[in-house]
């Protein structure tokens, strides 16, 4: 194994890891604010991918251009989903919560399959197609742009949470819902906001992925489990944790694939997941 | 006692079904109902009585199926024995699993179960000796009760019914024993349970091991019926969801809930499949998903829970409005009744 | 040798010292009250005896056997019974089943456990409610149920955490009678209490904690005259 291959693998791991981080940030926000694990999170990503695809296929608009539009649409969709479904199970027993988001997962996949058929789609010849050599390492341009895009969105989210009043209110609700309510912060508004942002993050990741990853109704399945691992490793509720953990998981995944063979790379991540659950359930940076 | 008589009556009717009809489609549907019910009852032991939601039970199911099949194909071991050994293997895996994951709460435990099941699926998909993705086929060379292979549907029906009854008996025995009381205590108030001497991990493990054992038996039955298994048919997450859903739909933590749940769910599944499924457009999936969400949001205590609430409402309407809910407390002194 | 002995028990949580070098004893058949202002560390000491916390340093012995550091269930088996500040009855079960769950510790057969449970329910004057779901009982009833449940484990020592809080005067009298009847049975009681008019008249000994330290240890009369105790409750400048 040459240094070049190692570096190559490392770089691709970091880039895909940044995408994982972006998906996970949305998931961790929802959990941090309302203690609900959104099993349907991968489907927000899937919807983002399809949005990018159809805007490209029907109107020849490049995903980079349509990214803001897709993000807005998914933000609205996330809030709508909260209002229609999630709001009813905020205080329901855990079994109900698990099955509701699980049901949503299956529902969205089913609807996607119904509307757009199970065929694999892809976006060819977008603005970012091709590859580029950076510091002696060959990188796919879509992957590079996706990685940078993920960093940009993460920074935006971080700025929102730390520098705006609304972001502070969100963090307050995540820290102590009752106390925040006593200070006049409406929990339901915050939950709705968290779902909107969560969906938007996953949707953004989807658009960025669509430039180089196949698009099909079940694509969310590939990412949801990894998103869990990242959220868990980074600490439930920690956006910064999700960011660094995402990169770490991306690297571990591709390294595992390099050492054991590509069919085992998911298994490597899952074993890591179980290990973290067992030995450090609060993750690297999270509240327990 | 009235409930018992009803149950025995239903059981007799159920046992005689294959005699009444020999329509293979109906009989197959009935077998599917029985098999799904059995899996739901087995899941319920952990999910309902012990309150630990597992979304990875397919791992035990698949282990049962693969163990008995591989023992048969590679060592000629009789499926009856293989079925039992499959159960033991699953129970053993569940030991490692329980030890590592029981301190996880709620959502985390559910996620861990998904991860474990996925790992098992990946392992079997890449294990050549187990047929990897291609799967394993059981030849129909030997038939009859000795080989647990039949050309007819009827014997499979009785086998499935027998397994269901066995699993129900196991649940019932647990419910009535000290284990049942302990599990309910653990579910309600874990700290208070510890304060009366209950070792939580031990009893959860008992529930898990039994649940794994019976789930694995179901897997072996599937293998002997279909005569073909592969990772997708016995280890998929969809299967895990179904096992849990059957119990939830009927009533988590009740003895017969999963049976009712299976009747409802399997019927709906088959109906939607025959009406909509053919087109491959996934309409049956959409209806299935809507059903899951509907139950989770509106009827989390399942059919039985809904039924009990309905009974309660009838009772309160019927009883005199002047009757107070709490009988007045007699102000007697403790010395009167202390031994 | 006393039934319960605490030797220099210290319990720290990170930077906070909840108990500092606390030592006292409870003899068989005694009623000992553990009192002190809020934040004194009473419940912490309780949890150490019952196994929910392990002391940072020091030793706790029951009947000569070290129980500090044992799990709660092991402490229960060793003879420590306890109630909680919030009754924590098993709400999905009837009153009888609540007590049965505890009786099963020593009586594995369900039928015999039920008989035991019914006897104990009568003891705390709840036998009318044997089949009533625990979740639908009043606070006072649930408290007594929790006591019956703890008694079903056949303890040598019963820890009661603020059993009289929030009860009206006649309910307090009922509870006092229960506690006295428990002593009649030879079971020692260590009671954390704020309702001083409930505990002072019946206790053989009072131990006072303030900010993690034991400041007094004696008969109720001695303790109520102790200037350190008075200022701890009134708060001097």
pLDDT at B133 over 70: yes
Does residue C178 share a domain with residue C145? no
Does residue C74 share a domain with residue C3? yes
CB contact under 8 A, B297 and A110: no
H/E run at residue C215: strand C213-218
How big, in percent rounded to 5, are the helix, strand and coil portions of chain C?
A: 40, 25, 35
Does residue C161 share a domain with residue C150? no
As a whole number of Å, the end-to-end CA separation of chain A is 40
pLDDT at C198 over 90: no
**Of C154, C184, C212, which residue is a domain's last?**
C154
Distances in Å between the Cα of A162 and the Cα atoms of A126, A240, B138, B305 are 35, 12, 62, 46
Contacts of B197 in chain C (CB under 8 A): 73, 76-77, 102, 105, 153
Does residue C150 share a domain with residue C39? no
CB contact under 8 A, B282 and A114: yes
Which of A99-103, A275-279, B316-320 shows the highest mean pLDDT? Answer: A99-103
Domain regions of chain A by residue span: 25-218
**Domain total of chain C:** 2
Q: What digits encode the pLDDT tens for the residues A201-244?
A: 999 999 999 999 999 999 998 899 899 889 988 888 888 899 99
Beta strand pairing call for A131-134 and A137-140: antiparallel
Does residue C111 share a domain with residue C38? no
Q: What digits encode the pLDDT tens for the residues B176-223?
A: 999 999 999 998 999 999 999 999 999 999 999 999 999 999 999 999
Residues 171-210 of C with CB under 8 A from B: 174, 177-178, 180-181, 184
CB contact under 8 A, C72 and B339: no
Residues 287-306 of B with CB under 8 A from A: 288-293, 295-297, 300
Dihedral angle sign, alpha carbons of residues B298, B49, C120, C52 = negative
The per-residue pLDDT for B332 is 43
Beta strand pairing call for C205-210 and C57-62: unpaired
C in contact with A (at least 3 C-beta pairs within 8 A): no
pLDDT at B278 over 80: no
Rounded mean pLDDT of B62-81? 94
The per-residue pLDDT for B72 is 93
pTM over 0.95: no
pLDDT category, A286, cuts 50, 70, 90? low
Which token pair is B269? 């599944």
Dihedral angle sign, alpha carbons of residues C2, C204, C19, C89 = positive
Residues 6+ apart with CB under 8 A from A190: A33, A169, A170, A173, A180
CB contact under 8 A, A117 and B281: yes
Q: What is the CATH number of the domain that holds C175?
A: 3.40.50.300
Does residue C110 share a domain with residue C4? no
Strands (E), chain A: 131-134, 137-140
CA of A113 vs chain B CAs: smallest distance (Å): 6
CB C174 within 8 A of CB C16: no
pLDDT category, B277, cuts 50, 70, 90? low
Distances in Å between the Cα of C172 and the Cα atoms of B73, C36, C141, C144, C198 are 72, 19, 12, 11, 7
Q: What digits encode the pLDDT tens for the residues B165-189?
A: 999 999 999 999 999 999 999 989 9
pLDDT category, B279, cuts 50, 70, 90? low
d(CA B181, CA B175): 7
CB contact under 8 A, B194 and C71: yes
Quickly count: other Cβ atoms within 10 Å of residue C65's Cβ: 10
Nearest Cα residue in chain A from B300? A96
Does residue C98 share a domain with residue C140? yes
CB contact under 8 A, B329 and C178: no
Does residue C122 share a domain with residue C93? yes
Rounded mean pLDDT of A77-97? 91
Give the nearest partner residue to C101 out of B176, B177, B181, using CB atoms.
B181
pLDDT at B325 over 60: no
Please classify residue A8 by burial: count the beta carbons closer than 10 Å to its beta carbon, then call 0-12 exposed, 13-18 middle and 19+ buried: middle
Quickly count: other Cβ atoms within 10 Å of residue A131's Cβ: 12
Chain A touched by B156 (CB under 8 Å): no
Buried b (16+ CB within 10 A) or exposed e, A138-176: ebbbbbbbbbebbeebbeebeeebeeeeebebbbbbbee
**Of C133, C154, C175, which residue is a domain's last?**
C154
More confident residue, B101 or C145: C145
* Structural domain range at position C52: 1-79+155-237
CB contact under 8 A, A103 and B123: no
The per-residue pLDDT for B329 is 44
Does residue C74 share a domain with residue C101? no
Contacts of C138 in chain B (CB under 8 A): 326
Does residue C231 share a domain with residue C216? yes
C127: DSSP letter: G
CB contact under 8 A, A281 and B104: yes
Does residue C142 share a domain with residue C207? no
CB contact under 8 A, C92 and B196: no
Distances in Å between the Cα of C140 and the Cα atoms of B329, C89, C162 are 11, 12, 12
Does residue C160 share a domain with residue C150? no
Please report how the helices B237-250 and B58-75 are oriented relative to each other, as an axis angle in degrees rounded to 10.
130
User: From its phi and psi, is residue A146 left (phi > 0), alpha (psi between -120 and 50) or beta?
Assistant: alpha
- Interface predicted TM-score (ipTM): 0.92
**Of C154, C169, C187, which residue is a domain's last?**
C154
More confident residue, A259 or B328: A259
Q: What digits encode the pLDDT tens for the residues A126-159?
A: 787 788 887 778 888 888 888 999 999 999 999 9
Average pLDDT over chain A reads 89
Q: How many helices (H) and strands (E) does chain A have?
A: 11, 2
d(CA B52, CA A277): 16
The residue assigned the tokens 């571990």 is A252
CB contact under 8 A, B293 and A228: no
Q: What digits encode the pLDDT tens for the residues C100-109?
A: 999 999 998 9
CB contact under 8 A, B114 and A225: yes
CB contact under 8 A, C97 and B181: yes
Contacts of A235 in chain B (CB under 8 A): none
More confident residue, A105 or A280: A105
Residues 119-148 of C with CB under 8 A from B: 119, 122-125, 127-128, 136, 138, 141, 146
Q: What digits encode the pLDDT tens for the residues C115-163?
A: 999 999 999 989 899 999 998 999 889 999 999 999 999 999 999 999 8
The residue assigned the tokens 């920690």 is A238
More confident residue, B75 or B51: B75
CA of B241 vs chain A CAs: smallest distance (Å): 9
d(CA C166, CA B157): 60
The per-residue pLDDT for C79 is 94
pLDDT category, B1, cuts 50, 70, 90? low
The per-residue pLDDT for B336 is 41
Residues 190-249 of B with CB under 8 A from A: 241, 244-245, 248
Chain B touched by C85 (CB under 8 Å): no
């Amino acid at each position: 194994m040459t240094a070049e291959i190692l570096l190559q693998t490392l770089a691709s791991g970091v880039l895909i890891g940044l995408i994982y981080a972006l998906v996970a940030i949305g998931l961790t926000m929802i959990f941090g604010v309302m203690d609900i694990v959104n099993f349907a999170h991968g489907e927000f990503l899937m919807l983002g991918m399809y949005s990018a695809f159809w805007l490209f296929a029907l109107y020849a608009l490049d995903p980079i251009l349509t990214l803001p539009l897709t993000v807005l649409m998914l933000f609205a969709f996330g809030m709508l989903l909260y209002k229609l479904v999630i709001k009813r199970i905020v205080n329901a027993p855990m079994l109900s919560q698990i099955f509701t988001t699980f049901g949503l997962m299956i529902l969205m996949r089913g609807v996607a399959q119904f509307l757009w058929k199970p065929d694999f789609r892809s976006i060819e010849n977008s603005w970012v197609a091709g590859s580029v050599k950076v510091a002696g390492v060959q990188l796919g341009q879509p992957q590079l742009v996706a990685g940078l895009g993920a960093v940009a969105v993460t920074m935006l989210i971080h700025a929102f949470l730390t520098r705006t009043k609304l972001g502070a209110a969100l963090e307050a609700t995540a820290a102590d819902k009752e106390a925040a309510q006593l200070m006049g912060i409406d929990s339901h508004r915050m939950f709705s906001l968290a779902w909107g942002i969560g969906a938007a993050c996953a949707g953004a990741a989807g658009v960025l992925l669509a430039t180089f990853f196949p698009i099909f109704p079940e694509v969310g399945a590939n990412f949801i489990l990894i998103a869990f691992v990242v959220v868990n490793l980074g600490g439930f509720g920690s956006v910064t944790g999700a960011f660094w953990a995402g990169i770490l998981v991306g690297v571990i995944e591709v390294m595992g694939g390099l050492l054991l063979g590509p069919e085992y790379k998911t298994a490597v991540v899952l074993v890591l997941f179980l290990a973290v659950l067992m030995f450090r359930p609060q993750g690297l940076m999270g509240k327990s | 006692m009235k409930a018992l008589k009803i149950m025995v009556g239903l059981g007799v009717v159920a046992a005689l079904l294959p005699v009444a009809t020999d329509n293979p489609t109906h009989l197959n549907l009935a077998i599917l109902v029985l098999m799904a019910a059995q899996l739901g009852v087995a899941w319920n032991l952990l999910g309902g009585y012990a309150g630990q939601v597992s979304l990875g039970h397919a791992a035990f199911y698949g282990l049962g199926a693969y163990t008995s099949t591989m023992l048969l194909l590679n060592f000629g071991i009789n499926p009856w024995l293989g079925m039992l050994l499959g159960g033991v293997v699953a129970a053993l895996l569940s030991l490692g699993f329980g030890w590592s994951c029981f301190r996880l709460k709620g959502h985390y435990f559910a996620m861990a179960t998904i991860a474990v099941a996925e790992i098992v699926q990946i392992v079997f998909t890449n294990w050549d000796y187990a047929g990897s993705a291609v799967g394993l086929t059981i030849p129909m060379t030997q038939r009859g009760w000795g080989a647990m292979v039949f050309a007819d549907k009827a014997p499979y029906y009785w086998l499935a019914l027998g397994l269901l009854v066995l699993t129900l008996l196991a649940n019932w025995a647990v419910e009535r024993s000290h284990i049942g009381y302990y599990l309910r205590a653990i579910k309600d108030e874990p700290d208070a349970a510890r304060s009366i001497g209950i070792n939580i991990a031990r009893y959860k493990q008992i529930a898990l091991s039994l649940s794994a054992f019976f789930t694995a038996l179901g897997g072996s039955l599937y293998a002997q019926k279909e005569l073909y298994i592969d990772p997708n048919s016995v280890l998929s997450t969809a299967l895990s969801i179904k096992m849990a859903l059957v119990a939830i739909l009927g009533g988590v933590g009740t003895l017969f809930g999963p049976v009712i749940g299976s009747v409802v769910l399997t019927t709906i599944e088959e109906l939607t499949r025959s009406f909509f499924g053919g087109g491959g457009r996934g309409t049956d999936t959409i209806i299935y998903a809507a059903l899951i969400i509907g139950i989770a949001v509106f009827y989390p205590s399942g059919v039985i829970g809904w039924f009990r609430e309905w009974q309660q409402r009838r009772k309160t309407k019927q009883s005199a409005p002047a009757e107070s809910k709490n009988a007045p407390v007699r102000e007697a002194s403790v010395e009167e009744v202390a031994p | 040798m006393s039934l319960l002995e605490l030797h220099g028990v210290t319990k720290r949580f990170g930077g906070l010292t909840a108990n500092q070098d606390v030592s006292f004893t409870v003899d068989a058949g005694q009623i000992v009250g553990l009192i002190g202002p809020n934040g004194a560390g009473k419940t912490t000491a309780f949890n150490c005896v019952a196994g929910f916390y392990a002391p940072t340093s020091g030793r706790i012995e029951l009947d000569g056997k070290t129980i500090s550091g044992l799990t709660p269930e092991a402490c229960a088996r060793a003879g420590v019974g306890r109630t909680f500040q919030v009754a924590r009855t098993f709400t999905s079960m009837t009153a009888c089943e609540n007590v049965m769950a505890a009786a099963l510790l020593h009586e594995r057969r369900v039928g015999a456990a039920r008989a035991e449970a019914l006897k104990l329910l009568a003891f705390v004057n709840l036998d009318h409610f044997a089949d009533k779901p625990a979740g639908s009982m009043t606070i006072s009833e649930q408290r007594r149920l929790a006591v019956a449940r703890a008694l079903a484990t056949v303890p040598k020592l019963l820890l009661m955490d603020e059993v009289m809080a929030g009860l009206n005067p006649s309910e307090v009298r009922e509870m006092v009678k229960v506690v006295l009847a428990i002593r009649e049975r030879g079971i020692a009681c260590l009671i954390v209490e704020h309702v001083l008019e409930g505990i002072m008249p019946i206790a053989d000994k009072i131990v006072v904690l303030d900010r993690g330290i034991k400041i007094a240890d004696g008969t109720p009369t001695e303790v109520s005259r102790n200037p350190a105790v008075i200022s701890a409750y009134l708060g001097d400048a």
